Amino acid sequence: MATATSAICVKSVTKRYGAVTALEAVSLEVERGEFLTLLGPSGSGKTTLLRVIAGLEQPDEGRVYLGGEDVTDVPPYRRRVHTVFQQYVLFPHLNVYRNVAFGLEQKRLSRREIERRVAAALELVRLSGYERRWPHELSGGEQQRVALARALVLEPEALLLDEPLAALDLQLRKEMQRELKRLQREVGISFLLVTHDQEEAMALSDRIAVIADGRLQQIGTPREVYERPETAFVATFLGAANVLEAEILQHENGDALLGLCGRTVRVPLNGRRIEGSRAQVAIRPEKIALRARPLRRTDLVQLEGVIEECLYLGEAMHWRVRVGEHCVTVTEPNRPGSKAEAFRDGQRVFLCWTRESIVVLSR
Amino acid sequence: MRGTSANRWLLLAPSLLWMLLFFFLPLGLIVVMSFAERGPYGGVRWTFGLWNYRQAMDPLYLWVYGRSFALAAVTTALCLGISYPVAYYIALRADPKWKNLLLVLSILPFWTSFLLRTYAWIFMLRVEGFVNTMLLALGVIERPISWLLYSDFAIVIGQVYGELPFMILPLYVALERVDVRLMEAAMDLGANRRQVFWRIVLPLTRPGIITGIVLVFIPSFGAFITPDLLGGAKSAVIGTVIQNQFVQRNQPMGSALSVLLILVMFALLLIASRVTRQRGRR
Amino acid sequence: MSAHPRTSPALVVWMGATYLFLYAPVFVLAVFSFNDSRLLAVWRGFTWAWYEAALSNHPMLEALRTSLLVAALTTLIATMLGTSAALAVQRGHGRLRSLWDALFLLPILVPEIVVGFASVAFFGWIGLRLGLLTVLIAHVAFSVSYVFFVVRARLATLDPRLEEAAMDLGADPWRVFWKVTVPLLVPAIAASALLVFTLSLDDYVITSFVAGAGTTTLPLRIYSMIKTGITPEVNAISTLLLLATLALMALAFRIEQRGMTRTHLVLAGLILLGLVGFAFGDIAMRRPRATLNVLIWSNYISPRVVRAFEEKTGVSVNIETYDSNEALLAKLQAGVVAYDLIVPSDYMVRILIREDLLQPLDLTRLPNLQHLDPSALRLPFDPTNTYSLPYTRGVTGIGYRTDKIASPIGSWADLWDTRWRGRIVMLDDMREVFGAALKLLGYSLNSTDPEQLRQARDLLLRQKPLVRAYDSANFDQLLLSGEAWIAQAWDGQIIKARRENPHIEFVVPREGTTLVVDNLCIPRSAEHPDLAHDFINFLLDPAVAAENMNDIMYLMPNRSAWPRLRPELQRHPIFSIPPERLRRSEYLQDLGPTTVLYDRYWTEVKLAR
């Protein structure tokens, strides 16, 4: 299904290092002009996948297509994707101009053409006037921009970014995130970003591919992935989630009847298929409300529990509530006049949430 | 021991005294002597003038300096050419298991006697030596090659053999330091393997190359043993000429030639350090 | 990783070739130390003979001892000096630091030949006797720098917080130094000690300048052995030394890799103890024994004669060699040396007398004087034999290979024959080489006429491209090995070579040649003139002289010894030189100030392409 429309297409790629499997049958497509993020914890295989696409690693199985063309056996220097490396990897013996011109000098271009394109690229990353500087004279953010310009100047099919912002401090990181988004819109090519920072992924991406243990967990828009996580891993890695065990009593017409903490709850499946007699469900802590008394509403799920712990986090309140054998986390933004402020450890409370907030996970 | 300044001087004094007395004073003596005159049976007449230097500017001696320079340059170039792939292999390609062993094997000869290593080549290169005998036995040649020993060829072979470890080691250190990610980045930006080498690896190892060149060139330029044993006492280089001045009891002339040798060498070192400083701005 | 593609086969081949280049010569050398043939690089069967020869080579063992002694003392002194200097500089101010660095860098950068030259000039100037002390001084001077830089590099990487932590834990500076700094420095100090030991043990160039009587180190001995003849014995010695070095390096490497275990410590200790015992033990034993230091031409005295004298008197005799009269003069003039007996040629005796470098002989202590042929006494260079007695007499001539050169040889012009290009060897001796040219031009070989000398120089410059080597010690070997076909030569060595190869012939050129008388003399600075007299008298004993002659194959003017000579010596070519050739021959004479001109022209010849 390597369509000519996708910038990058990876088909069931497997990569092993000795006994360790870094990637297992990963398939992925990046559309033209799309900003896709590979999100996963360290050691999940996301950087390996990036290197396979760049051609710096050879997959043991599977194929890699760029613009519909099979490049699995093409060496890195003939692939039309370029990488912005972690820690930038600028050439220390070349100044900014020569760093950016590096890739162009490989091609048979006139001096004027090279000069023009380097100037344009530096302009794009807002580093005009830095041509004669040396990498060691630049700040982290500036080095980052040079690395971007160096790759973008070659007008790649897609840009691969390997944790490009990890080495920057928080303030600069936020700024560079906006910068990246702007750049991507301006140049209009596909960006494939690797990160372990879920916030970054949410802020930047058109779609997020969550990867763990060398396997692709879920791929979708940030909203899809957050609101309808498919696995317990995705649910807990992207934001926080309460994962609860439930009994499947019955399922039909896209709805399921679940036994959850002694209650029977009807939950929409949203096309998700379930099998067997047990399932896991996820509920986001911020979607749960705490009440001293149960509400008289039938459309809500309401459970009784005891507060075990109460944490003040500044921007939000954070509770741990024991409900039978489960321990449920609840957060509530710190708004003026919040009723929740009065709750204390050991107090009996009621947890309320809508049926739609419950996501049934596939195993 | 963050001792007092008096303590430090006490620590430094013995070696400083030794060096001043037995290294710098003798050097000073030959500088003075280089302006003196020889007696008819040797010995030094302490009348001063520039005649030794004027004589050293004679084409005869300039030719010797040029020849020594050329031999040292060829030696250095060959050492560099041979060592670079070796150091490259050990630093970047070899199985980490074998790396240490390969490195040790490449510099082990340094620890064996230079004289014996030179002798080994006499044994190899003689008219009835190993190389000729082998080539004859294999039918490659019909008569022994006579220019193997007592020739510039032999001098260069012997020098390269003797100085090779001093080239391999700094190159290895420099190559070992090259960040593999830089090579990957270059490849990612469209440089093929050859371009990666010429545009990334070679420039980044320039300091190592210059160190190696200095370490090989300097001893080759002032060499005595190899030209004397393998060159057959008829091919003059600056080292053998200085020694000859001693045998001919012309110490003032030998001093002048020595002083010039040191000056030439320092000029070269200055150039080398300029080159490194210019390129290595990091 | 595919960014690291499979290594190209060319690179692997290159690696292999380089390692082959590094190790093949040494390996071949070692293999042929077992070869049952004296000269050829052709396998003739296995033998231990060369090892037996090497291990019973007394001067060689003596030299090894000297070398170990010098290396051990150098290491000790240089390590202490260098380490303390490194400590002082590292803790000092940054401003001065680069000055000290430059100061210590110089000895590493200045070529050895210059250091040696300067050192011997210096020792001569202050009048310090060349010997163990001067060798030691020079070795330490060039070694300190290496220790300095190795230790300083280590000091620079030491974490200062370690010392601060120790002080914080209540250690005073002195304890910090001994408990923290020194243990951290031990690897660097050990490494630099190993380096210095190796450098000192290996040094030839500097040592050759500053060594005096009785301080011949192993490299000096090996060098003169290489110069005077390539025999498998040198291979055997080389192999033993290489094995010893390799064993030492392997031990050091293992210690570095695995850390110092008790076994290593014991092993290293034993080796060290053995070496030191070997080096120093001999001093203790040698002290009561007087040593007679003899400086003589190479291949010029029979080892058996030397041994006989040692056994007879209990004195130990140390033989060192030179290969030109000028080298001898240089050695005596350079500094104060303690040689007891030297063997200069005729004209050099005159120069040495004039330079006041000889002491008068006490002829009353030389009863064997009576055996000398009167024709060899009262010669012009020492008309009263006050300073010299004749040792040998001979002629310079041409040695050649009859199996390689078919045409008759009989003129100096044959050494200019382009047919033998690259096969001609000339003596590495200014007077002899100019003598041949002057005779060929029909002049006296003692000419002081600048025009004649200029012509001789031009003739020699024309000959230069044909010459394979200038060699005074090894010309017989070069003929034997076929390296050379025709050589300017002294008679004795050629006669001796003929015993091994009958195709070697000696001829006195028809233009006339140099007549040589080499003489026994005692330098003014001799330490044992009494022993020297005893030794001279011993050498003049007819039985001793005959044995000596039968070995070295040079003739001595000892009439009483002649009847005991080998048959081939009885038929010595000297006896059959045609009278007109003898008439045209001359003794070399002292040329006075003209020597300077000779020196200049000789340099020009040696330097020419």
Least confident of A81-85, A114-118, C32-36, C447-451: C32-36
* Predicted local distance difference test score (pLDDT) of residue C59: 80
Residue range A5-50, pLDDT digits in tens: 789 999 999 999 888 889 999 999 999 999 999 999 988 899 999 9
User: Which sequence spans correspond to the domains of chain A?
Assistant: 6-232, 240-361
Nearest CA in chain A to B185: A89
Q: Which positions ≥6 away from C608 have C-beta within 8 Å?
A: B60, C461, C464
Query: Does A108 touch chain B if contact means CB atoms closer than 8 Å?
Result: no
Question: Cβ of C406 under 8 Å from any chain B Cβ?
Answer: no
Reading the block at residue B231, the tokens are 């060159």
List chain C domain ranges.
Answer: 9-54, 57-284, 291-390+518-552, 392-517+569-607
Give, to the nearest 10 degrees, the angle between helix A170-187 and helix A111-124.
130
Residues C370-399, mean pLDDT to the nearest whole number: 92
What's domain A240-361's architecture? Beta Barrel (2.40)
Nearest Cα to B90, choosing from C26, C18, A18? C18
Are C211 and C135 contacting, i.e. CB atoms less than 8 angstroms apart? yes
Distance of CA B156 to the CA centre of its chain: 11
Cβ atoms A192, A158 nearer than 8 A = yes
The position carrying tokens 């695995």 is C258
Asked if A162 has any chain C CB less than 8 Å from its own CB, the reply is: no
Q: What is the pLDDT of residues B106-155, one digit of tens each?
A: 888 888 888 888 888 988 888 778 888 888 888 888 888 878 888 889 99
The pLDDT assigned to C70 comes to 93
- pLDDT the model gives residue B159: 94
Q: What are the pLDDT digits (tens) for C321-365?
A: 888 898 898 888 876 778 999 999 999 999 999 889 999 999 999
Q: Identify whether the C-beta of residue A280 lies closer than 8 Å to the C-beta of residue A361.
A: yes
pLDDT over 90 at C518, yes or no = yes
User: 3-state class of A149 per DSSP?
Assistant: helix
- A76·C1 Cβ contact <8 A: no
Mean pLDDT for the stretch of residues C528-550: 93
Residues, chain B:
282
Q: Minimal CA–CA distance to C114: which of B254, B125, B171?
A: B254
Question: Which range among A58-72, B195-209, B221-235 shows the weakest confidence by mean pLDDT?
Answer: B221-235
Distances (CA, A) of C97 to B11, C85, C89: 14, 11, 6
What whole-number distance in Å separates Cα of residue C65 and Cα of residue B14?
Answer: 28
Residue A16 forms beta bridges with which residues? A21
Handedness of CA C374, C380, C386, C392 (dihedral sign): negative
Is the distance from CB of C399 to CB of C423 less than 8 angstroms? no
> Are the CB atoms for A309 and A319 separated by under 8 Å?
yes
Other C-beta atoms lying within 10 Å of the C-beta of residue A242: 22
What does the alpha-carbon distance between residue C598 and residue C600 come to, in Å, rounded to a whole number?
Answer: 5
Q: What is the pLDDT of residues C257-310, one digit of tens each?
A: 666 667 777 777 777 777 777 766 655 555 556 889 999 998 899 989 999 999
Restricting to A residues 263-302, those with a Cβ less than 8 Å away from any Cβ of B are none
Q: Which of A56, A60, A72 is the mutation pick for testing C, counting most C CBs within 10 A?
A: A56
CA–CA dist B280, B181 (Å, integer): 20
All structural domains of chain B: 59-279 (1.10.3720.10)
Range list of β-strands (E), C248-298: 291-297
Residues 11-70 of chain A with CB under 8 A from chain C are 55-58
Closest CA in chain B for residue A55: B188
**What number is the ipTM of this complex?**
0.91
Q: Output the pLDDT for position A133.
A: 93
Residue with tokens 């990091």: B282
pLDDT score of B42 more than 50: yes
Size of interface B-C (CB pairs under 8 A): 320
Q: Looking at beta carbons, which residues of chain A come within 8 Å of B199?
A: 102
Give me the pLDDT at residue C260, please.
64
CB contact set of A278 (below 8 Å; sequence gap of 6+)? A245, A246, A247, A248
Are C475 and C488 in contact by the 8 Å Cβ rule? The answer is: yes
Domains C291-390+518-552 and C392-517+569-607 share a fold: yes
Question: pLDDT-derived band of residue B279, with 50, 70 and 90 as boundaries?
Answer: low
A75 and B192 in contact by Cβ < 8 A?
yes
Name the residue among A51, A57, A53 with its Cα closest to residue A29.
A53
Greater confidence, C64 or C228?
C64
Rounded Cα–Cα distance for residues C188 and C403 (Å): 60
Res A246: pLDDT = 87
What's the DSSP call for residue C382?
A: S
In this predicted structure, what is the pLDDT of residue B282? 41
- For C134, the 3-state DSSP assignment is helix
> How far does A193 lie from chain C, in Å, by closest CA?
21
Q: Where are the alpha helices (DSSP H) in C464-592?
A: 475-481, 491-500, 529-540, 542-552, 567-570, 579-584
Query: What pLDDT band is residue A2 in, cutting at 50, 70 and 90?
Result: very low
Q: Over the Cα atoms of chain A, what is R_g?
A: 25
In this structure, which topology does domain C57-284 adopt according to CATH? MetI-like fold (1.10.3720)
Q: Residues A332, A239: contact at Cβ < 8 Å? A: no
Residue among B179, B186, B204 minimizing CB distance to A102: B186
State whether B190 and A56 contact (CB < 8 Å).
no
pLDDT of residue A309: 87
Average pLDDT taken over every residue of chain C = 86
Contacting residues of A for B194, CB less than 8 Å apart: none
Judge whether B22 is closer than 8 Å to chain C, CB to CB.
Answer: yes
Task: With residue B277 as reference, give the H or E element that holds it.
Answer: helix B251-279
Q: Taking CB atoms and an 8 Å cutoff, what residues of chain A touch C3? A: 56, 76
Of A76, A92, A154, the CB nearest to B187: A76
Neighbours of A314 (CB within 10 A): 6
Residue A215 tokens read as 């396997």
Q: What is the least distance, in Å, from the CA of C313 to any CA of chain B?
A: 35
**B194 touching A (Cβ < 8 Å):** no
Cβ neighbourhood burial of C495 (10 Å; 0-12, 13-18, 19+): buried
Cα separation values, C563 from B144, B195, C488, C570, Å:
44, 83, 30, 8
Looking at beta carbons, which residues of chain B come within 8 Å of C210? Answer: none
Average confidence (pLDDT) over B257-262: 94
* CATH fold group of domain C291-390+518-552: D-Maltodextrin-Binding Protein; domain 2 (3.40.190)
Instruction: State whether residue C403 is helix, strand or coil.
Output: coil
Phi, psi dihedral angles at C222 (to 5 degrees): -65, -40
Our CA-based measurement puts residue B101 at a distance from the nearest CA of chain A, in whole angstroms, of 25
Fold of A6-232: Rossmann fold (3.40.50)
The more confident residue out of B116 and C76 is: C76
The CA distance from A236 to C425, in Å, is: 92
Structure tokens at C234: 């040198």
- In A, minimum Cα distance to B190 occurs at A77
- Contact residues, B window 153-172, toward C, CB-based 8 Å cutoff: 161, 164
Helix axes B251-279, B206-221, angle to 10 degrees: 180
The token duo for C207 is 């040592």
- Neighbouring subunits of B (3+ Cβ pairs under 8 A): A, C
Q: Tell me which residue has tokens 């000339």.
A: C426
Which candidate, A285, A270, A289, places its Cα nearest to that of A360? A270
The answer to whether C481 faces chain B, any CB pair under 8 Å, is: yes
- The proportion of chain C whose per-residue pLDDT surpasses 90, expressed as a percent, equals 39
Residue of B nearest to C104 (CA): B19
* Nearest chain A CA: its distance from B81 CA (Å): 23
pLDDT at B4 > cutoff 80: no
Superfamily of structural domain C392-517+569-607: Periplasmic binding protein-like II (3.40.190.10)
* Closest chain B CA to residue A50: B188
pLDDT at A219: 93
Which chain B residues are within 8 Å of C7, Cβ to Cβ?
A: 89, 93
- Give residue-wise pLDDT tens across range B186-205: 999 989 888 999 999 999 99
Please choose, from the candidates C265, C299, C241, C324, the residue with its C-alpha nearest in 3D space to the C-alpha of residue C516.
C324
Query: Which residue of C83, C84, C105, C117 is the best one to mutate when testing the B interface, meaning the one whose CB has the most B CBs within 10 A?
Result: C117
Please state whether beta strands C467-470 and A289-291 pair in parallel, antiparallel, or not at all (unpaired): unpaired
Cα–Cα dist B143/B133, whole Å: 10
The answer to whether residues B100 and B178 touch, using CB atoms and an 8 Å cutoff, is: no
* Nearest neighbour of B19 by CB, restricted to C144, C471, C603: C144
B23/C222 touch (CB, cutoff 8 Å), yes or no: no
Cα→Cα distances C324→A74, C144, C321, C448, C599, Å: 72, 35, 10, 21, 14
Q: What is the pLDDT of residue C314?
A: 86
The model's confidence at residue A122, banded by pLDDT at 50, 70 and 90, is: very high
Q: Beta strands A158-162 and A81-84: pairing type? A: parallel
Compute chain B's Rg from CA coordinates.
23
Q: Which of A79, A106, A114, A153 to mutate to test the interface with B (most CBs of B within 10 A)?
A: A106
Predicted confidence at residue C258, as pLDDT, reads: 66
For residue range A335-349, list pLDDT tens digits in order.
877 766 678 888 888
Instruction: Tell whether C126 lies on the interface with B, counting CB pairs under 8 A.
Output: no
Residue C536: pLDDT band by 50, 70, 90 thresholds?
Answer: very high
Which of B 34-63 lie inside 8 A of C, CB atoms? 38, 40-43, 60-61, 63
For residue B172, give the nearest of B110, B268, B93 by alpha carbon: B93
